[in-house]
Copies of this chain bind each other. A is one copy, B any other.
Amino acid sequence: EVLFFPSRPCCIEALLAEAAEPGAPARPCPCPLPSGDTALSRLVRRVLSARRSLDLCLFSFSCPQLARVVQLLHRRGVRVRLVTDAQYMGLHGSQIGRLRHAGIQVRHDQHSGYMHHKFAIVDRRMLITGSLNWTTQAIQSNRENVLVVEDAEYVKAFQEEFERIWEEYNPANYSFFP
């Protein structure tokens, strides 16, 4: 599947409620946003399909809706690991602090170069990758693409890249301590 952005703004409360309590009767959300089928709702559905693991490698993560998706998966027992960029994680609106506060493992680079990837791997079997940073600006205003790929060859290459980065960014390897 290929998703193109910008996406119309949409309400994802029904998707979150169904993921939190499968089969519970739907309660209509009072917000004025439509809950139709959009690039954002499709992305959210894909991420919410995680049952065992979610590996995130994101340059910039400031979208509160997607942060709620990740927190929900974490609460549901999915093993979430998040790699991000040191320079961007402290910017205004970043969700990294909130995710760390929720108990999610986060690692970041310690280089001047950017950790510029924007991909997610669901259950080590589905790759979600493209130009899209997980920011509201990118989702609602930019021309962006996201590929959803289950081809084992691509998933394996990105999973290996994730593991390399996860180890390289292990705080035990920090070199800025004396």
A175 contacts partner chain B, Cβ-Cβ < 8 Å: no
Complex CA–CA separation, A111 to B145 (angstroms)? 17
Residues of B within 8 A of A131 (CB): 59, 116-119, 129-131
B142 x A147 contact (CB < 8 A): no
Query: In the complex, how many residues of chain A place their beta carbon closer than 8 angstroms to a beta carbon of chain B?
Result: 33
Q: Does A144 contact B (CB under 8 A)?
A: yes
Q: Pick the contact of A141: B2, B6, B111 (CB < 8 A).
A: B111
Chain B residues contacting A119 (CB-CB under 8 Å) are 131, 145
A118 CB contacts on chain B under 8 angstroms? 131
17 contacts between A and B (CB under 8 A): A2-B153, A2-B154, A59-B131, A109-B143, A112-B141, A113-B137, A113-B141, A113-B143, A114-B143, A115-B142, A115-B143, A116-B131, A117-B144, A129-B131, A130-B130, A147-B147, A147-B154
A residues within 8 Å of B by Cβ?
2, 4, 6, 59, 109, 111-119, 129-132, 137-138, 140-145, 147, 153-154, 157-158, 161, 165
Given A112-B141, A116-B142, A130-B130, 13 other A-B residues pairs in contact with their CB atoms under 8 A: A111-B141, A113-B140, A113-B141, A114-B141, A114-B142, A115-B142, A116-B131, A117-B143, A119-B145, A129-B145, A143-B165, A145-B161, A147-B147
